Amino acid sequence: MSFISLTSLAFRNVKNTRIYPLRTSSNIWKIKLYSKHVCNDDCKLAYIEEPISDDSSIMFIVDNPDYNEENKSCNFIHTLNHSSVRIDQFDKNNPKTTDGDLLFVDQIVIPDKKINLEISFPIKTPKKILIETNEELGFSLRDIIYQIQQVYRWIYKREEETCSEKDYPIIKECECLRDDRKSVIIGKGKEKGKEEKEKGDICPICLEGKREEKEEKDIITECEHFFHVNCLTEWLDQKETCPTCRANLYKCECNGTYYIYTNYRCKIIPRELRGFIVNRNETDGIFQIYGHDKEDLVLRSMTYNSITKTLFLEVFG
C-alpha cells in the first residue's frame, strides 16, 4: 500500500521547465502564476486510499512519511507552486499570491504593447477592453496583473454608476437574538406608579406583595400584570408568555420570531445586510455583474492569443 502526499496534488517541481517562454512557433500560450512552496502544518499530512469495491474507496489521513520534523519541511520545499492572486488586493510594489511571493514578476509574458483584455467573469456578456503598456518589450507579469486590477475596479465602479436602484428583501437578526432577551422585555415594561404600589398587588409567581424599593423593583408588563422583576426574570428562563394571561412577553420588533423581514432600496446590498445571502446581488448596469464582489475575485492563470492579441483570464470568486 503506497502513501501519497497531499502536497503532491498541489505542487509540481518545474525547475527544469522554462517559465513564460515567448514562443514564435506557437500562437497561443498559457501564463500561470507561481510562488515558492513554504512548508506548513498541512505538509505533515498524507493520505492513503483503499478500495472497498469496484466503484468506491475509503481514504485515511495519516502522517506524511516524507515530512522532516527536525527541519520542519517536506520533500516539496523550494519547489514551485502553481498559485493564484487576489485581484483587488494585488500590490504592484509587493506582489503576492495566495501562498507567498509572486515569482518572475518582471519577466515579459506578452511581447505586444497593445492587447485586448477579455473580461467574462462575473459579467453576463463578455467584453473586450483595450489596454497598453509603457514597457518597451511588452507586458511584464507585474504590469499585466496590475492592469487587470485597474480594469476590474473600473468595471465595478461603472456598473454601480449605471445600474438602477431596486427594493431587495432583507432578513436581519432582531436585538432579542443578539442581546439578553430578559433585559429586552423588562426594559419595555413599566414600573408601578405610586398609586398602583399602594394597592398592594400580589406577584402571581411568588405570591408575595410589594417589596422594598432598595431590594427589588416592581414591574407591570404591557398586558398590565404586576410582577417582581426578579420573579419575572426567572420565569422567562422557562417560558416566554405572561404567567397570568399567557400573552407573548417579547414585544420586540420581530414579535418573538428572532428575525426581521424588510425591504431595502439600494443598488448593491451591503455585505452586513445580506444575512443568509452572502453573494452580491445581480445588477442591471452596462456590465450586468452577478454573484461576486470585486474583493472576492481571484486570478488563477491567463491565456494569450498572439493572432487576435487577446488575453483570456481564468478568474473565479
Residue closest to 254 by CA, chosen among 168, 187, 178: 178
What pLDDT does residue 11 have? 34
Would you say 268 and 280 are in contact if contact means Cβ atoms under 8 Å apart?
yes
For residue 306, give every residue at least 6 positions away whose Cβ sits within 8 Å of its Cβ, in sequence order, or none.
Answer: 27, 28, 29, 112
Structure-block grid coordinates of residue 49: 486510499
pLDDT reported for residue 316? 94
Q: Which CATH number fits domain 175-236: 3.40.1350, 2.60.40, 3.30.40, 3.30.70?
A: 3.30.40
Exposed / middle / buried, residue 46 (Cβ in 10 Å: 0-12, 13-18, 19+): buried
Q: What is the pLDDT of residues 205-243, one digit of tens each?
A: 888 776 665 455 677 777 778 888 788 878 877 777 888
How much is the mean pLDDT over the chain? 80
Task: Domain ranges for the chain, please list them.
Answer: 4-163+285-316, 175-236
Say whether pLDDT at 129 is over 60.
yes
Would you call 315 helix, strand, or coil by DSSP?
Answer: strand
What pTM was estimated for this model as a whole? 0.66
The tens digit of pLDDT for each residue in 61-112 reads 777 777 777 777 776 666 788 899 999 999 999 999 998 899 999 999 999 9
Q: Going by DSSP bridges, is the β-strand pair 166-173/259-266 parallel, antiparallel, or unpaired? A: antiparallel
Q: What is the pLDDT of residues 4-50, one digit of tens each?
A: 333 333 333 344 445 676 655 689 999 999 988 777 777 677 766 77
**Region 127-152 average pLDDT:** 96
Does residue 269 carry a pLDDT above 80?
yes
pLDDT band at residue 295, thresholds of 50, 70 and 90? Answer: very high
pLDDT-derived band of residue 159, with 50, 70 and 90 as boundaries?
very high
- Give the residue with greater pLDDT, 294 vs 42: 294
